[in-house]
Chains A and B, each alone.
Chain A
Amino acid sequence: MQDAKHRLDASAEYRRAALASHEPEVIASDDWGPAAPPDHREFVRFTRLHRTLHACMIVSFLSLALTGLSLKFSYTAWAAVLSHLLGGFETAGFIHRTAAVVMFGTFITHIVDLFRLKKREYGTWRGLLLGPNTMIPTRTDFREFLATMKWFVGMGPRPQYGRWTYWEKFDYFAVFWGVFVIGGTGLALWFPVLFTRFLPGSFINVATAIHSDEALLATGFIFTVHFFNTHLRPEKFPMDTTVFTGHMPLTELKRDKPREYQALVETGRLHEYLAEPHPAIVVKAFRVFAWVALSIGFSVVVWIIYAMLFAYR
């Protein structure tokens, strides 16, 4: 799952340009793109807001996961240790709710940003939602999925992915689902007296079950599938930091998102998305942050597996 990553393109022009491509800036020496880019500037995939929202998401999500799972797996010894480290169940509860508020804030900020984007760049929802860079799964995504399956089993080439691949779209909408399902039940658990004014008391039991199991799904999925798909794929090892720095090397753009690259080149707007790389120290700081987050995530996965398989009661 990611923050929304909508580019600030004028979609109509971009789409036209993508259809009638010309002026390839690239010398296709082999499959992996140019021997050397025109300069050492990097492609800007995410804006500062996107990166901030993703960071907020990481912090709040990890906080929610740690505090919540310590309760879910209270029967494991180190749930108690963790709960004490977090300052006791009351403090842990406070952290959990604060993080929930941060996540709600992140979500709302993104929605507001979508409105601004629509107003500024697309004019209509139709333009935003049905353009080439839409987050809505399309027929192309379905075709790419099938093609990917073929590629996996060696029956075809790697598909020419666009700006958003189908698994990135899946991650994106998983957040919507999670925010509504976990967030909604979480509010019921937060304000049980209020909710039972119009819902039966046993709804709190149901909400607990949903909240807890959906949270397990979310943490498990993020800390394994999303981590692999996005950050830790062998060809990107040790880490894809694009979402932290906002930048990706042009070669990587050509390799990973050839269709997007092609369209940009054809509309002649690629240079608009190029920027000087961050200073090395900044990149290093981003990497440290990312690794801390990943490590926590992996630890949680180990804990979940231990709790589910060996300590389950």
Chain B
Amino acid sequence: MADPRQQAGSRRLARSALLLLALLLALGVAYVPAQADDVNDTCLACHGDKGMTARRAGRTVSLFVDGRKFANSVHGSLSCTNCHADLEGKELPHGTPVARVSCGTCHSDEGKQHARSLHGQALARGDALAPHCVDCHGNHDIVPVKDIRSRVAPLNIPMVCGQCHREGTPVQRNRNIAQHNILENFSESIHGQALLRKGLVVAPNCTSCHTAHSILPHTEPASSISRANITKTCTKCHAEIEMVHRKTIRGELWEKKAHVLPVCVDCHQPHKIRNLFYPQGMADADCLHCHADQHLRSEDGRSVFVRASDVAGSRHAKVACSQCHSEVNASRVRPCETITRPVDCTQCHAEAGLQYQRSTHGQLAARSDPNGPSCKECHGTHRVLGRQDPNSPSFPINVPELCGRCHQPGHKAALRYTGVEHQIISRYEESIHGKGLLKSGLTVTATCTNCHTAHRELPASDPDSTVNPKNVPSTCGQCHHGIQEQFVNSVHSATVTRTGQPLPVCSDCHTAHAIQRADQDQFKLEIMNKCGRCHAAITKTYFDTYHGKVSRLGYTKTAKCYDCHGAHDILKVTDPRSHLSRANVVETCRKCHHDATRRFAGYLTHATHHDPKRYPFLFWTFWGMTSLLIGTFVVGGVHTLLWLPRAFQMRRELRAHQAREARRALGKAFDDSPAEDDDAGR
């Protein structure tokens, strides 16, 4: 006998209390218990003998009563004759047999319930198999229901009921019991598992549904499991179960017109209740009875043909028609005639629905703007597939095409759009993300929805938008986490620089849709212009240096902004952690100039000869050289210009002289031999 410690404790306490009472009160106070004990002692004088037996109906039965157990039972304070009333005042030993104890004398409610119940009626009919109180509760050893030793404690009830209602018993074989394998099915049901395997005492046992004493067949309207009452019975525990079932039945129907609705056990078979969704194949078949017709059209001429295989192969294969097409009324010949509203996906996809309502798409749709896409325009209808399915329009590789239906030039979203991002789809396709996704088939590459979200897309101007400048770093950081970590500590981060000026975010340098690999020439050459949009003056001076000039010629090998300043971890040069701090600058130069020294690092990478204040020596060198240049050209130019008229004069005279010489040579040739005539060779 393994009494729980707690019970032992409480018994000790009770004994102490009794002792105290005995001490304090006079003998007379203890008269009644003393009298009961007297009677019981008298009975136990015989019945306390374990060997006491009697023959009943040809069988030997024990007449032993365990006095200790009785004393500890709920009835321990009563005398034997309180129950065995017919023995009151009888000579001992009394005659046999004694009359059946009537529990209903005290337990009148239970007695009446039992009398009306199936069990009671059977008893009244004289059914030998009908149970009496003692068959369930026991006799002299009855303990409170909450006591785990009680035969009718929740954990034990299936065994008590199972005495008769399990397979192979006379009751099960000979009486009209509609259910079979009751105990077996129950023990494997979600209820039985919880109760028997997991010891969850609040899990329902037999009496939770059938009641303890008012047990009636489900055909009796008063039964707790009748069609009218079963819902009430189930909702004792499954309160608000209609919230779960709202896809098929609106909550109010459940309450007002329960008779038109299926009841719990229509789907969740009694005793076999499983923890799973119950297919409602019958309902789908009903729908397809009409909708399988390819030529079926609605009143407004739309095809309402449903290909059963579409649904069967879809993400919603296990979802019944009526779960989406709610408002159906199963009691009508055409259950769908009561439908007034289109399918509302948010009944199940509530979170996505909330996001969608907030999005530009949802807001447009709410205004009945034809530009506002509804769920089905992206996800389709009966053939809806999960985004893991390569055939789904929401599969990552298909997303650009999906969004492009509206967002490519000439289409409705692009026509309505007034911002600065154009050729979105084609530029995306040429971007590193687009190539990764579409050419390499890398499905983890960012596609439209990764940045804009799937259901809550908002314009960048909206502070809640994922592509609002404020949120861009964390949006990109979903994938580029390491870079985000660098960036948030950089001078460009709003957490570091407190300023009213707009600070750059990822997309300002990398663009939004035409993101290039940072190791490609085009990106490298454009970065100076990107930095220069804010840092105009310093960029201009960069282009005055060798690095800048080579870059501007279209070559990427010389230092660009980020080679010295860092890309995402840019800090003020006064910051000791900066790449250009005194401690780090030489190392930074050495990335290209391997032998660089500290003095070498004194090269002014942004020096300009236009600034006499900051770079006076360069300014004066420049103007010194320029003065020399101008001076030289003035002298040389004036000299040349003055010379020019004389030179032309000389040319004219030379020509005249040559002509004379030629004439003379000609004259001579008449006279003499033509010997010398090549003076005029030029």
Interface residues of A (CB under 8 A from B): 30-32, 34-37, 40, 70-72, 74-75, 79-80, 83-84, 88-90, 149, 151-153, 158, 167, 189, 192-193, 196-197, 199-202, 204-206, 208-210, 213-214, 216-217, 220-221, 224-225, 228-229, 233-235, 237, 249, 251-252, 313
Contacts and interface: CB of A to CB of B under 8 A. Distances in A.
Contact of A202 (B593, B617, B648): B617
A50 to B, nearest CB: 22
B597 A193 contact: yes
Contacts of B278: none
B303 interface: no
Nearest to A92: B553
A296 to B, nearest CB: 20
Contacts of A217: 625, 628-629, 632-633
Given A205-B607, A234-B647, A210 B621 contact: yes
B599 A153 contact: no
Nearest to A251: B679
B629 A220 contact: yes
B646 A196 contact: no
A192 B681 contact: no
**Interface residues of A, dominant DSSP:** helix
Interface in B579-602: 593, 595-597, 599-602
Contacts of A201: 599-604
B621 A234 contact: no
Given A208-B546, A221-B632, A224-B636, A193 B593 contact: yes
A253 to B, nearest CB: 13
A33 B543 CA distance: 59
A208 to B, nearest CB: 7
B553 A83 contact: yes
Given A196-B602, A210-B625, A234-B650, A205 B618 contact: yes
B607 A202 contact: yes
Contacts of B550: 71, 74, 89
A269 to B, nearest CB: 22
Interface stretch (B344-352, B409-417, B651-659): B651-659
Nearest to B543: A75
B240 interface: no
B639 interface: yes
What are the 8 tightest A-B residue pairs by CB atom distance, in nearest-first order?
A201-B602, A36-B676, A213-B625, A225-B636, A152-B642, A201-B603, A235-B650, A74-B549
B221 interface: no
Given A32-B654, A217-B628, A71 B603 contact: no
Determine the interface band of chain B, counting residues with CB < 8 A from chain A.
35 or more
Nearest to B678: A40
Given A37-B679, A193-B596, A202-B607, 6 more contacts: A35-B665, A71-B549, A192-B603, A193-B593, A209-B609, A224-B633
Contact of A196 (B557, B599, B615, B648): B599
B554 A202 contact: no
Nearest to B549: A74
A70 B546 CA distance: 12
A209 B616 CA distance: 13
**Interface residues of B, dominant DSSP:** helix
A200 B602 contact: yes
A206 B642 contact: no
7 contacts: A74-B552, A83-B555, A89-B550, A213-B628, A224-B636, A224-B640, A229-B640
B643 interface: yes
B664 interface: yes
B621 A209 contact: yes
A197 B603 contact: no
Contacts of B77: none
A249 B682 CA distance: 9
Contacts of A74: 543, 548-550, 552-553
B557 A79 contact: no
B463 interface: no
B554 A234 contact: no
Given A89-B550, A228-B640, A192 B647 contact: no
A72 B647 CA distance: 35
A221 B636 contact: yes
B435 to A, nearest CB: 27
A84 B554 contact: yes
Interface of B: 540, 543, 545-546, 548-550, 552-555, 557, 593, 595-597, 599-604, 607, 609, 615, 617-618, 621-622, 625-626, 628-629, 632-633, 636-637, 639-640, 642-648, 650-651, 653-654, 657, 661, 664-665, 675-679, 681-682
A235 B647 contact: yes
B597 A75 contact: no
B599 A200 contact: yes
B220 to A, nearest CB: 98
Contact of B679 (A35, A71, A89, A213): A35
B640 A225 contact: yes
A75 B552 contact: yes
A216 B629 contact: yes
A80 B554 contact: yes
A119 to B, nearest CB: 35
B296 to A, nearest CB: 68
B642 A153 contact: yes
B679 A36 contact: yes
Contacts of A84: 554
A196 B651 contact: no
Nearest to B608: A205
Contacts of B596: 193
Given A35-B664, A72-B549, A213 B626 contact: yes
A234 B644 contact: yes
Given A202-B603, A221-B632, A235 B654 contact: yes
Given A196-B603, A228-B640, A221 B633 contact: yes
Contact of B647 (A90, A225, A233): A233
Nearest to B555: A89
Contacts of B629: 213, 216-217, 220
B160 to A, nearest CB: 96
B555 A88 contact: yes
Given A205-B604, A213-B626, A196 B597 contact: yes
Contacts of A189: 546
A80 B553 contact: yes
Contacts of B640: 224-225, 228-229
A70 B597 contact: no
A161 to B, nearest CB: 13
B351 to A, nearest CB: 55
Contacts of B647: 233-235
A202 B553 CA distance: 24
Contacts of A30: 657
B618 A214 contact: no
B637 A193 contact: no
A128 B665 CA distance: 43
A213 B622 CA distance: 7
Contacts of B604: 201-202, 205
Nearest to B603: A201
A249 B658 CA distance: 14
B657 to A, nearest CB: 4
B538 to A, nearest CB: 15
A71 B545 CA distance: 10
Contacts of A229: 639-640, 643
